[in-house]
Amino acid sequence: MKASFARRSSAAVMAVLLFASQLQAVAVVSLPQPTGWNMFSPEQDIEVGKQNASEVRKQMPVLPDSNPVSQYVRQLGQKLQSTMPQPTWPYEFHVIQQKDVNAFALPGGPVFVNLGTIQAAQNEAQLAGVMAHEMSHVYERHSTKQASKQAMAEVPLGVLGALLGGGMVGTAARLGLQFGAGSIFLKYSRDMESQADAVGARIMYNAGYDPLQLAVFFQNLEKEAGSGSQFFSDHPNPGNREQAIKKEIAEFPPKPFIENSPAFTTAHQQAMNLKAYTAQQIQQHAYGAQAGGSEGVGGATPPTDSAFDTLSHNAFDISYPQSWHVYGDQNSAVTIAPEGGVSQKAVAYGVIINGTDTQSAGNLNDAVQQLIASLQQSNPGLKAISNSDITVNGVRGKSVDLTGNSPIQGQREHDWLVALPRHDGSLLYAVFIAPDKDFMQLRPTYERMLKSWKLK
């Protein structure tokens, strides 16, 4: 009888211990709800992210998604994503063949991990930590929050709508939400880095990884590359990461962690055998030079093309050089610019096409003067130097040459404004932009674009 009771007691204790261990193994913690004002909607985050992901592929050596290393990174990212509150952002995971240890995320979900980061990771937990950190920037919407804050700080609220037009993708390009040097995607505050560490630690924990491995990765990187590493330039160290992460996870239920996996060992070896490029090699490659170098935005004259594509907008059609990029959509203000022509909020080369509710029915000259006054609010040095009539595909309008300060340091800018009245009395206008020294070289391209401009 006693032996039977002892056996039952022992079995009960074992059952309790087994149940407790199972609870620990599946223990999860909640992610904080993102807070803070954002002028972008979640749908606009996704739109901006998709457009810029396309730019990344044009400018960077992105490893094909069919490559085994890319497939592994995607599977690891999906594992992390599966632990997040659902529905979550439409995350994508890609690998860039760059030597520098770095990673970045775009609004709405695209995450890019440098090959050098995979090579530098000592185990799967460390790589998962870097990816969880980037996913946290998306989850917290750091890029578009930062752009929203910057817009409010630099532009009076009453002018914001007129200055940026109705299209969020066009707005995004002017607020630094465009992939390239100096982009908000690549620059976060220390507070944002702390927040990404904290949220990333929770994502790691829920996926079964020790959050402290994220801190170990950063420590190893700093020992080997120093604080001058590109990663720390883009992700400023918020302080003692290890202590901050320990404090974040102090109340988490204990559980066994995954440190490594055969899949990581295989992918790591494959990554070590892949070609990785330096930042200088990438800059000199066919992907094109980045804006914002020592000469400022668009430091070199952009090439013109003989091949043109056509943009079909809800309000107009226009042709443009095939290698130039379109920022905006069919319902918004549009910027069309060559590689390196746009950075931060500035357009150094290219054309901006927008509309205004200023009524032209009474007097076209007055309407154009009101438009120029509106443009001068965002560029106080802008001055008209000539004003003439023009006809574009049967529509009579106004042509105005203006001069102002170029975003390229130490240079003046030539702006060619063409305004056409629409059937509802509003104006549609295009501003063709280039530094003074380059404008005549680009004018044939601009004139060809103007000849193709047809209002609907």
- pLDDT band for position 238 (cuts 50, 70, 90): confident
User: What is the pLDDT, as a whole number, of residue 149?
Assistant: 78
In degrees, rounded to 5, the angle at the alpha carbon of residue 362 between the alpha carbons of residues 360 and 368 is 40
Contact assessment for residue 40 and residue 107, using Cβ atoms and an 8 Å cutoff: yes
Domains and their CATH numbers in the chain = 24-282 (no CATH), 308-455 (3.40.1000.10)
Whole-number Å distance between alpha carbons of 254 and 398: 72
Longest dimension (CA), the chain: 110
- State the SS3 of 350-371: EEEEEEECCCCCCCHHHHHHHH
Chain segment 361-395, per-residue pLDDT in tens? 468 888 898 888 888 877 778 899 989 999 999 99
Choose the most confident range, by mean pLDDT, from 41-45, 434-438, 447-451: 447-451
- The stretch 87-115 carries a mean pLDDT of 94
- Angle at Cα 145 formed by Cα 289 and Cα 293, nearest 5°? 20
pLDDT in tens, 396-419: 999 999 998 887 777 889 999 999
Q: Indicate whether 158 pLDDT > 70.
A: no
Answer with the residue of higher pLDDT: 242 or 258.
Answer: 258
Please tell me whether the overall predicted TM-score, pTM, comes out greater than 0.75 for this model: no
Dihedral of the CA atoms 418, 423, 426, 429 (nearest 10)?
-20
d(CA 371, CA 139) in angstroms, rounded, equals 39
CA distance 252 to 111: 27
> Span 335-358, mean pLDDT?
80
Q: How far apart are CA 256 and CA 21, in angstroms?
A: 9
Residues 6+ apart with CB under 8 A from 15: none
Q: What is the pLDDT of residue 347?
A: 84
Contact status, residue 179 vs residue 185, Cβ threshold 8 Å: yes
Choice between 341 and 388, residue whose per-residue pLDDT is larger: 388
